[in-house]
């Protein structure tokens, strides 16, 4: 299984093996108007960070992050 990242600025797709994912983080990003978006990011060996999900509801994004972490933990056992 691979994870693909489509860059909106460049016509480029980056593929990573799911084995390259070593973590998940939840990051709050504030735009110039003060609006906050929560982003669930997959941490990739080599320093890449892929946005898995984004939204304004922190609890919803937290649940997605926890599910991704559970998957990673189950995979490593």
The 10 Å Cβ neighbour count of residue 68 is 20
pLDDT at residue 55, as a whole number? 94
pLDDT at residue 54, as a whole number? 93
Q: Coil, helix or strand for 35?
A: coil
Question: Model-level pTM?
Answer: 0.79
pLDDT at residue 11, as a whole number? 56
pLDDT at residue 10, as a whole number? 53
Residues of the chain with confidence (pLDDT) below 70: 1-13
- Strand segments, DSSP code E, in 1-77 are 2-6, 13-17, 21-30, 36-44, 49-55
pLDDT at residue 6, as a whole number? 55
């Amino acid at each position: 299984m691979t994870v693909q990242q489509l860059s909106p600025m460049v016509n480029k797709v980056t593929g990573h093996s799911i084995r390259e994912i070593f973590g998940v983080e939840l990051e709050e990003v504030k735009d110039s108007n003060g609006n906050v978006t929560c982003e669930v990011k997959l941490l990739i060996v080599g320093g890449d960070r892929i946005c898995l999900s984004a939204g304004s509801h922190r609890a919803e994004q937290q649940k997605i992050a926890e599910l991704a972490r559970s998957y990673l933990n189950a995979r490593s056992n």
